[in-house]
Amino acid sequence: MSKNTDHSDILESVHESARALHDAGIMDTTTMKDFDELCLSPAREYSGEELKALRERLRVSQPVLAIYLGVTKSTVAQWEQGVKKPRGPALKLLNLAERKGLDAIS
């Protein structure tokens, strides 16, 4: 496991513990929001080459990835060519698919 993965796993565990405390009424909402900001890492950005490699690792075509992400095939093609970059919900979904696979976003 890489140092980044270890760090991410630790933050995820801390965040889950904080969520459980909040759900049990032990932690207030303001403190939970602070944990959200501290523990949830920003979405990783992708170059066109990285995005294409991810898509190929996931073993899907551009049109199929587009369906998973709720974008057009043209948008995926533009991302892979470096004309545009994925942003917002599509970027978050790509990060999730990279970590957990396409089943996590279907």
Q: Residue 59: its pLDDT value, please?
A: 97
Residue range 37-76, pLDDT digits in tens:
777 778 899 999 999 999 999 999 999 999 999 999 999 9
The pTM score is 0.67
Contact 52, 60 (CB under 8 A): no
Q: At residue 85, what are phi and psi to the nearest 5 degrees? A: -125, 140
pLDDT band at 2 (very low <50, low <70, confident <90, very high): very low
pLDDT of residue 39: 74
Please, what is the average pLDDT of the chain? 89
Domains of the chain, start order: 3-39 (no CATH), 48-105 (1.10.260.40)
Per-residue model confidence (pLDDT) at position 42: 81
CA quadruple 45, 48, 53, 55: dihedral sign: positive
